Amino acid sequence: MKTKHAVSAKKRKKKILKLAKGFWGKRSKQYRRAKESVRRALVYAYRDRRVKKREFRSLWITRINAALRERGLSYREFIARLKEKKVLLSRDILAQIAVEEPKAFDMLVELAKN
């Protein structure tokens, strides 16, 4: 007896079309077009989960550097001096302190300068 694949084929197509929901035109309606678009979208999603981490680190460094320039210090010197003093704060925490707690950040800058 010949094996039929209707159930699994329908399930597979429904899965792809569900992922393509909200895509424009035939990309959300036709299986073949949806499959191409979903594959590409998943590749971008995978790549950009990694890129996001780089972009956030870059943003934090920019914010820290801007706050330090106002206080007469460069980012490079500040980080090096914090490491000398064994102050282990991540870039995201430093950026948050610089934006939300300027007085606490001033104390860190003084610690780094002395």
Q: How far is Cα 112 from Cα 107, in angstroms, rounded to an integer? A: 9
- pLDDT digits over 56-65, tens only? 999 999 999 9
Report, at the CATH architecture level, how domain 8-113 is classified.
Orthogonal Bundle (1.10)
Token pair 């094996």 in the structure block, residue = 3
What is the pLDDT at residue 35?
A: 96
What is the pLDDT at residue 5?
A: 87
Low-confidence ranges of the chain (pLDDT < 70): none
8-state DSSP, 72: T
Mean pLDDT, the chain, rounded, equals: 94
* Conformation bin of residue 68: beta by default, left when phi > 0, alpha when psi is -120 to 50: alpha
